[in-house]
Amino acid sequence: MIEFREVDKTYSNGVKALSSINLKLNRGEFVAVIGRSGAGKSTFIRCINRMHEITSGQLIVDGTNVAKLKGKQIRRFRRRIGMVFQSFNLVTRTSALHNVLVSFVPELPLWRKLTGIFPKHNKIAALTALDQFGLLDKAYVRVDQLSGGQQQRVALARTLAQRPDIILADEPIASLDPVTARQVMNDFREINEHMQIPIIMNIHHVEIALEYATRVLGFRDGTIVYDGAAKDVTPDILKEIYGEMEHQTHTVLEEAHAYVS
């Protein structure tokens, strides 16, 4: 479904974020992308929907060479890819329902965009998406009155409402407490297993990545040093991905080691 062929990404300041990336990601997979900060994880995720341009190589999604898309083609392509961020990217002064309805704006005629009047079938789809995450009773509540976990679920509902072929998630649980983080991860698992939507998630919580993902990509210095099943990750593999850890991240790896040992 997604194929990287000798993909490099070098930023304008000369920093090489990705180097010779070659891999295939298949439909239905739950892929966790792990590694130290600055290893290239976010760049990898954001190249898939062309938030970042690759420097060389080919990136193929469902037979489409992403780098060759232009103008409206890019916008249509991005409609097929849901993106979930750490910061939720919600309009906090409006309702949960309105935030989900935003996913339909690109499809609306100009007069509806200007007036903010959505057709009935869009409203039904938005309410259905909120109901799927147990938020139907919060539909008309302002987002800034919701908890962090509820806000992330609104963001997930917005993503599902656009009926994506792929979901990309960039640190979606980084700002959540441990209990809420697992609730959101359960939502991702439900989406992946029951809707067969592939999920590619950049995540710092190694032990959670190993628990929920079916496949793990370990990045180090812009290259993939591990690509395999989550169940096959060992302490030695984690050491290869993370190297000698600084004190602040040592505890995280200790927890991950305990999980895989």
pLDDT digits (tens, 9 = 90+) for 164-198: 999 999 999 998 999 999 999 999 999 999 999 99
Q: Output the six-digit token pair for 92.
A: 């906090």
Q: Which region holds residue 81: left if phi is over 0, alpha if psi is between -120 and 50, else beta?
A: beta
């190589």: which residue's tokens? 57
Whether the pLDDT of residue 229 is over 60: the answer is yes
Alpha-carbon span 113 to 122, nearest angstrom: 13
| Per-residue pLDDT band at 247 (split at 50, 70, 90) | very low
Higher pLDDT, 257 or 55: 55
- Cα distance from N-terminal residue to C-terminal residue, the chain: 33
Per-residue pLDDT at 51 exceeds 70:
yes
HSE of 255, CA atoms in CB hemisphere, 13 A = 12
- Sheet hosting strand 223-229, strand order edge to edge: 81-85, 166-170, 199-202, 30-35, 215-220, 223-229
Encoded amino acid at 35, one letter: G
Q: Among 138-147, 193-202, 215-224, 236-245, name the one with the lowest average pLDDT.
A: 236-245
Give the mean pLDDT of the chain.
90
pLDDT in tens, 142-166: 999 999 999 999 999 999 998 899 9
Q: Would you say residue 45 has pLDDT above 90?
A: yes
Contact between 200 and 166 (Cβ < 8 Å): yes
State whether residue 59 is helix, strand or coil.
strand
Show the beta-strand stretches assigned E in the chain: 2-10, 16-25, 30-35, 56-61, 64-65, 81-85, 166-170, 199-202, 215-220, 223-229
| Distance from C-alpha of 49 to C-alpha of 2, rounded to nearest angstrom | 11
- Is residue 36's pLDDT more than 60? yes
Q: What is the pLDDT of residue 30?
A: 97
Strands 64-65 and 81-85: unpaired
Burial class (CB in 10 A: 0-12, 13-18, 19+), 176: buried
Task: Give the per-residue pLDDT at 72.
Answer: 86
**DSSP state, residue 137:** G
Residue 244 has pLDDT above 80, yes or no: no
Query: pTM of the predicted model, to two decimals?
Result: 0.87
